[in-house]
Structure 1
Amino acid sequence: MTTLTRPTDTDASSAGILDRPFRMLTVGIVACVLLIAFEAMAVNTAMPVAAKALHGVGLYAFAFTGFFTSSLLAMVVSGEWCDKRGPMVPLGVGIAVFGAGLVLAGTATTMWTFVGGRVTQGFGAGLVIVALYVVVGLRYPERLRPKVFAAFAASWVLPSVIGPLVAGTVTQHVGWRWVFLSIPVLIVAPLVLMLPQLRGLRGGDAVGEPLDRRRLWLALALSVGAGLLQYAGQRLDVWSLPPAVVGAALLVPAALRLLPRGTFRARRGLPTVILLRGVAAGAFISAEAFIPLMLVTQHGYSPTFAGLSLAGGGVSWAGGSWLQGRPWAEPHRLRLVQAGLAAAAVSVALVALASQPSAPAPLVAAAWALGGAGMGLAIASIGVLMFSLSAPEETGANSASLQVSDALGNIVCTGLAGVLFTVLGTGTTSGFTAVFVAMTAFMVVGVAVCGRARS
């Protein structure tokens, strides 16, 4: 089979991502992202009803942590698989496993079976997201990658706005199971559109080499360690200490070895790019998780209104991603990351002010729209920088590192936020303020180290 390396700008030099050379592939991968995005938004709406119906409210958190833990393992597996075998098989397998997890969760009769379905979904999603990044790096010329990332971000807009509404309606009138069982039907379309376009696509000089078992064992240690730390963070009592210690002992060495050398020291070039992804995603998403609760408890708004306050962030995120995809943006890639993170830091700081009961609650919606635009600029540009610093045979491993950093950032920031919220008073103004101030500090650190992303 022919080995294909990264395309150049001479390939289909005048074509856009929706023109004939790329149309079917673009529609397929965007449909795949849309599917994952809708699942993420819909499941969050149906999950409380499912846990109650299965008499498993006590295991509610495990339905989330199981997803993230298995996806961590799958990200590293997918990176290795893509570099050594190409992205076609891990992408197809990932979509199939993701669909199997949805069916397992939707037909579950016990909460443990439901959690198993979520773990299966997480593994499939981890395989898919890394493989999609590898496809972008290998199949699209450099000038088109920002536009593809903008399309990825746009794929989250519709699910962010209508996902909870659709899922809520289905849950109420048809049943929570159909939120899970209706999505696998949509899997066929991305597979039919994408996979034929990926035949013969290979990662580079690493093709044919055996998978690195050492990295796979490190990935297993990373995911188990992350799971133990999340479990300990949910308990916060004397019995949480042993799993916390064991989890840290597994996670920290594995993370140091799986991510590029110097990542946690912000070493110049690729290590800083990988670090920025974890800092940005972790701080912003962790802050977002506490906003609806803050609006309901501090300002007395309904859950629906609280959720809608975040909708502007999804739309502006797509807008920021679109902006960084314009031709004029390429020479200013690092400045876009720095400006985006600065805007996100300001938005989280404004939310900290809005946590005071006397503050105008609409400030949150305005602040989150600003933050979403900043994240759209930064996250997409970080992905573009990662590809520019990666050799073709490293695309899979570096794409996996980017996603692992994202997931670790979420785990660390969410865990810290949970501890602050619990220690300083669950549901109190000081608890909310501490969470948002801490996440602002993470963003400021990201702004400070941006300059080190230069090779």
Structure 2
Amino acid sequence: MSGAERAPRADTDLAASGAGGVWQARYFWVTLGAVAMIFLAATQALAVTTVMPLVATDLGGDALYAVAFSGTLATSVIGMVAVGAWCDRRDPVLPLATSVALFVAGLVIAGSAPSMEVLVLGRLLQGLGTGGQTVALYVVVARVYPPALHGRVFAAFSAAWVIPSIVGPLLAGFVAEQLHWRWVFFGVAVLTLVAFTMVYLRLRGLTLRIDDPGHAPVGRRLALASVVAAGALALSLAGEAGAWTGVVVVVALIAIALAIRPLLPPGTLRARRGLPSVVLMRALIAGALFGAEIYVPYLLIDEYGFSATAAGFGLTAAALLWAAGAEVQGRFGDRLGNARISLIGASLLAAAALVAAATAAWHLPAWTIIAGWSLAGAGMGLMYPRLTVLTLAYSTPQNQGFNSSALSISDSIGAAASIAVMGLTFVALKATDASFPAVFLIAAALAVLAVVPGLRMGRVAEAGPADGAVTGPATVAD
């Protein structure tokens, strides 16, 4: 029996068909707990974006501001690789538990940090847990839910970002003002443990180990992941190198490109048809969105006098349309097809970046960038869950961990490298009026470039061994 036909051994209910959706009794607690974990990760990310200016001022750490973001993304690569390999060798429950422990420990360290250096250390540890948690949840989805429900699960994950986007900035500002910014970290830590308990209690009685586990060399992959993470951190700190900044940037980018290749499907950097293009597109759109997104509230504060909390609401419309796009993808993605989703999604993302650039360049009203940036959310809602569904459809039970980690690695490194490069560009042009427009134009260029792999993602049902794929769900096609 082929890997595509063999289901992991689970109880009869969980191995049944997807009739009834992801909220039926047999999946309810897994869905609820997993969505809650995504919800809390989103809450934490948006809350930290809102309060980080206060943190940097309180701890005197303006020089490490960007590293507090990009460092978390960089170390997440190590967590992704370790947990991906771990999941390919056994069931995903213990890897998920370990990832949650690291994530919570990082939050506690950051929340109690006496200096910006210690806070960054906590954020680096948090990144290890975040990366591992993401991959482990993807593998849980692959082994617990039937393929027919994968699109619905990832649409629910995307929708879990909506409420944090609405209440997250306001809640973070309220907590920082009424209690302290430290409780933004402590509160998420406690609630994450509650959410994980929901998932753990349902999964611990299941047999999710596969029959023929993979035996890829883990040590080499971890070493390469460490080089990638170090390269991303070097990019973030390149601005401190003075006259050597350009050299540090070039060396770091070369190191990342060389070390990341074995961690991704063969041909990813060449946009090879099939899974490699899926992974490459994820890196490009993540770089475009997350690299530019942190400058949206920055622009509203710096140029329009918004408070930190009010500026956070500049991202709310984008989050709402992200959820709407994810719902459209979940219901009509097969009808739209991969190529059309790629074109529409990338076009919306590029348009949002161009509107933001025009707003910054010509000092248009603040509502222009708020409304324009919502297009980015719509585009990402269409593309993001679709890319995850395709990754699982291209996978066998033996490489679900590797492929899920590859997708997450491309996501994090695309975002981390973009944040670093945009940050260097922004600082270099800070004395001019071109700083904000330049950042958003870089994002627009990445979105346009994403169309290339977007048109080469292929039909899963037609993918052959050359694509590293097996026969996937018949519904996943162009």
- Alpha-carbon RMSD across the aligned residues, in angstroms, is 2.5
The answer as to 2:286 corresponding to 1:284 is no
Name the counterpart of 1:218: 224
What is the SS of the residue equivalent to 1:11?
coil
Name the counterpart of 1:340: 345
Deviation sequence 1:250-294 (CA, Å, 0-9, x none): 322111221111111110000000000011111012121222233
How has the CA–CA distance of structure 1 residues 429 and 112 changed in structure 2, closer, same or farther, with 3 Å as cutoff?
Answer: closer
The answer as to 2:452 corresponding to 1:448 is yes
Counterpart residue type for residue 445 of structure 1: L
Name the counterpart of 2:3: none
Name the counterpart of 1:47: 52
Q: Work out the CA distance in 1 between the residues paired with 2:91 and 2:385.
A: 23
**1:99-178 → structure 2 map (5 Å cutoff):** 99-178=104-183
Q: Work out the CA distance in 1 between the residues paired with 2:111 and 2:299.
A: 31
The answer as to 2:276 corresponding to 1:271 is yes
Shift, 1:123, TM fit = 0.9
Indicate which of 310, 329, 332 corresponds to 2:333.
Answer: 329
Name the counterpart of 2:255: 250
Identity value in percent: 38
Deviation sequence 1:365-417 (CA, Å, 0-9, x none): 22122221111001111111111111111111011010111111112222332
The answer as to 2:366 corresponding to 1:361 is yes
TM-score relative to the length of structure 1: 0.92
Name the counterpart of 1:182: 187
Name the counterpart of 1:422: 427
Deviation sequence 1:158-198 (CA, Å, 0-9, x none): 11121121122121221222222222221332222112333
The answer as to 2:438 corresponding to 1:434 is yes
How has the CA–CA distance of structure 1 residues 8 and 225 changed in structure 2, closer, same or farther, with 3 Å as cutoff?
Answer: farther
Q: Is the 8 A contact 1:286 1:410 kept in 2?
A: yes
**1:71-82 → structure 2 map (5 Å cutoff):** 71-82=76-87
Q: Is the 8 A contact 1:348 1:440 kept in 2?
A: yes
How has the CA–CA distance of structure 1 residues 322 and 453 changed in structure 2, closer, same or farther, with 3 Å as cutoff?
Answer: same
Name the counterpart of 1:35: 40
Deviation sequence 1:2-29 (CA, Å, 0-9, x none): 9826999982342210001111100010
Q: Is the 8 A contact 1:3 1:201 kept in 2?
A: no
Shift, 1:121, TM fit = 1.1
What is the SS of the residue equivalent to 2:456?
helix
* Larger displacement relative to structure 2 (15-24 or 96-105): 96-105
* Larger displacement relative to structure 2 (429-438 or 94-103): 429-438
Question: Where do 5+ consecutive residues of structure 1 fail to align?
Answer: none
* Larger displacement relative to structure 2 (5-14 or 436-445): 5-14
Q: Work out the CA distance in 2 between the residues paired with 1:300 and 1:113.
A: 30
* Larger displacement relative to structure 2 (402-411 or 56-65): 56-65
Name the counterpart of 2:412: 407
What is the SS of the residue equivalent to 2:20?
coil
